[in-house]
Structure 1
Amino acid sequence: MDNFFRRRRVGLLKPLLSLFLVFASFLMIHKLKVAEKDAVGLKHVNDTPWCSPECFSYKKRIVKNSLGSSDLPVLSNTVDAQRVSNKTPASWDVPVLNCSEDASVRTQDWFKRLDPRFHQFVLHRHCRYFPMLINHPEKCARGEVHILMVVKSIIEQHDRREAVRKTWGKEHTVDGKKIKTLFLLGSPTTGKDTKNLQKLIKYEDRIYGDILQWDFMDTFFNLTLKEVNFLKWLDIYCSDVQFIFKGDDDVFVNTQNLVQLIDFKVEDRKEANLFVGDTIFNANPIRNRQSKYYIPRELYDKPYPPYVGGGGFLMSSKMARRLFVVSEDLELYPIDDVFLGMCLQKLDLVPETHPDFRTFGITRRKVSSMNSEPCFYKNLIVVHKLSVQELLRMWNVVHSERLVCARKVSI
């Protein structure tokens, strides 16, 4: 009898889950259609074409991969010829998913002692680059992008992407400097409504044209794959961009202050090795098994190098290219922030710390009233973490003409 009731519960859960997913899909499609109408209106207002004539020819070249299709352009201009001569491919050169586990690792004693949560990561750690499901090679086609805002996100976080697009991720020009935005995504994790989610993300990208997606599962341990795949993408398609801001989709970024920081660095001629954020020194791997950032001793057993909080940091294009080169010789690490710190250590560099990057919030006490004080946001560059509602409200307040702040205050 007990088994009968269990089967009944399971039988009821499946249709309920399906109905929920259908409802969620309709809701998201409705929101995207509204956004599409807004985007069409903006296209009529803006006389500048969204894409150069060359990029439309790129989109006609489609290469099929094992799980779908993606635009893999074949470029033929002079710049790309130079890249080929420097061993940089002219287009994304990983068309097929082909990554089997390294079975030899299973026989090693340290692997047998390793926490099972890390088994799949270690067995596939050699798998570095993956096919692209959504690509935008035209993003930097004109060579005029000053700052590329690169945002880590997952498919289900549509609301967060919408909030970023309406605030600090809005593509515009600040003091004559063009800012463009890209969101980095993987594929839905196993057990989710993969097919429908993928259709929704393709529809969203059709409206905004600002998503890069790779064919690896979007999990915490795979965040490092977003780092290395993006660095490779940047080297191929966007090497002429001058600066890259990289952050999460739940941060507040004061773009005006970010541009001012870049201007100061250029004026002082310190932009070549620029890598600045909220730097963490003298950190050790967390051994608490309940922590999201837990690392077993079998995987890493020494102090971390200095690294910046991944909530938001700024780097120059030259630094990004150097990181790409050195990253290819390093074993992947399951915490992306620390992995970039390892890359910098390999270059004998220490990331610059800046007090206006607050990747742990304005104060570490979440209940503090300072965490919701607009004048702090007006003077800072990055604040982490905010909900969608908090980001939209704070952006509007900070940019209101009625906001009067006495002076910049350091905490």
Structure 2
Amino acid sequence: MDHFFRRKRVGLLKPLLSLSLVFASFLMIQKLKLSEKDGVGVKHPRDGGWCGSECFSFKKTVVKSGSETSDSAVLSNNLDAERVSNGTPASWDAQVLNCSEDASVRTRDWFRRLDPRFHQFVLHRHCRYFPMLINHPEKCADGEVHLLMVVKSVIEQHDRREAVRKTWGKEHTVDGRKIKTLFLLGSPATGKDTNNLQKLIEYEDMIYGDILQWDFMDTFFNLTLKEVNFLKWFDIYCSGVQFIFKGDDDVFVNTHNLLELIGFKVEEQKKADLFVGDTITKAIPIRNRQSKYYIPKELYDKPYPPYVGGGGFLMSSQLARKLFVVSEGLELYPIDDVFLGMCLQKLHMTPEMHPGFRTFGITRRRVSPMNSEPCFYKDLIVVHKLSAQDLRRMWIVVHNENLVCAQKISI
């Protein structure tokens, strides 16, 4: 995978980016100081320099939030002891990264014909679990989390994370049902101001305590690493949660409708193998070399199994545990939502289609006024794709008591 190979930067970093990072660092530090004055518990940044993806063999110290003597930590330790007795790792055990390429692949005829941009992915496809830079084992320690909101993001998208925290990702309790939120991040990609960006994300996590970060480069091909590393993390630290919503940081989620859907599935006793979203069936690999989703025949040459759009989907904890187990026996695939479809196929399951999940937008015609009509958002569950500003604006409008929709809208 390309997370092992950082190309030397060409030219100087744009002055505007450096100034922005310095200014952002100042603002984050000031916000942190205010949080400390208010008595908000924070953790200390990692000591010493940060070793990036160019390091082939190194050891990381896992960063944890909260006091070790807190009630959460005690509960977490009890859970750890129980998991050890069941043969499951009690903590994140991928502390040392020493994963060289699989040189035997280079001798195969299909590899010689393979598009060069996929070479590093294939050579390092066996590199599955990575050291954690930021961890929150206490997130589900009380065993009472009803819904875990898990959001894929990258370091630079701070504005999107802020918008999510202030809207559908806000941690709260609804009718006794506790909702928690986590953001999944890798490390800065090639050519980024890695040291400053890493410090910024550490400060951000000190304030909010809702980030999980692994030491692999945040690239498109590595999105599948977020899936498998999260599934392992969930199995260790958070298996007691009841439901998981997993989505991108640029979607609108109507949490009221999402909780209603969960309630219906519980009443119908259909929660055990719940996996629902915007299902895509009879899809085939895209052969257009210009496409972001291009897959050469040498890598995969058959129709895709049914899968859901990765913008947002809902699953039960029981199924998440099954996905973790079966995922360990499958080769990684560079498109993360298709990879989950492959895992479901291995379980002889098909994801459930639900019209409330619109991971391609309300309509694929971006100029359509339907995409900005709040009454649609009021009736749907997930809509993709919105900017941070549009997400905040739509959230306010949809939750305005004066919003009147003449009738339930169907699309």
Common fold, TM-score beyond 0.5? yes
Q: Given the alignment of the two structures, is residue 24 of structure 1 paired with residue 16 of structure 2, yes or no? A: no
Deviates more, 1:168-177 or 1:75-84: 75-84
Q: Which residue of 1 aligns with 2:300?
A: 300
Shift of 1:175: 2.2
Greater helix fraction, Structure 1 or Structure 2: 1
Q: Which residue of 1 aligns with 2:138?
A: 138
Q: Which amino acid aligns with 2:143?
A: G
What is the total number of aligned residue pairs between the two structures? 384
What is the one-letter code of the residue matched to 2:142? R
Per-residue CA distance 1:371-394 (angstroms, 9 max, x = gap): 000010011000000011110110
* Paired amino acid for 1:149: M
Amino acid at match of 1:408: K
Greater RCO structure (CA 8 Å; 6+ sep): 2
C-alpha deviation, 1:33, in angstroms: 4.7
Report which stretch shifted further, 25-34 or 171-180.
25-34
- Paired residue for 1:310? 310
Where do 5+ consecutive residues of structure 2 fail to align? 1-8, 52-56
Superposition deviation, residue 189 in structure 1: 1.1
Distance 1:38 1:167 in 2: 22
Distance change in 2, residues 1:251/1:40 (3 Å): farther
Residues 77 and 209 (structure 1), Cα distance of their counterparts in 2 relative to 1, 3 Å cut: closer
Q: Is the CA contact (8 Å cut-off) linking 1:163 and 1:388 kept in structure 2?
A: yes
Q: With structure 2 as the length reference, what TM-score do the two structures score?
A: 0.89
The 3 A distance-change label for structure 1 pair 38 and 357 is farther
The CA RMSD over aligned residues, in Å, is 2.3
Listed as ranges, the gaps of 5+ residues in structure 1 are 1-9, 45-49
Instruction: State the partner residue of 2:354.
Output: 354
- Tell me the percent identity: 75
Q: Secondary structure at the match of 1:151?
A: strand
Secondary structure, counterpart of 1:140 in structure 2: coil
Equivalent residue runs for 1:4-403 within 5 Å:
14=12, 17=13, 19-33=15-29, 35-36=31-32, 66=58, 68-71=60-63, 77-403=77-403
Q: Which amino acid aligns with 1:23?
A: L
Q: Write out per-residue CA displacement over residues 289-317 of structure 1, whole angstroms, 9 at most, x where no aligned residue.
A: 00000000000000000000000000000
Q: 1:391 to 1:42 in 2, by over 3 A?
A: farther
Of residues 75-84 and 173-182 in structure 1, the stretch that sits farther from structure 2 once superposed is: 75-84
CA contact (8 A) 2:151 2:248 kept: yes
Distance in structure 2 (CA, Å) of the matches to 1:85 and 1:38: 43
Residues 385 and 238 of structure 1: is their aligned pair in 2 closer, same or farther, counting only changes over 3 Å?
same
Give secondary structure in 2 for the equivalent of 1:70.
coil
Q: Secondary structure in 2 aligned to 1:309?
A: strand
Report the Cα distance in structure 1 between the residues aligned to 2:212 and 2:264, rounded to whole angstroms.
31
How far did residue 26 of structure 1 move? 2.6
Q: Distance in 2 between matches of 1:376 and 1:239?
A: 34
Which residue is equivalent to 1:5? Answer: none
Q: CA deviation at 1:410?
A: 1.2
Matched residues in 2 for 1:228 and 1:213: separation?
13
Change (3 A) 1:38 1:384: farther
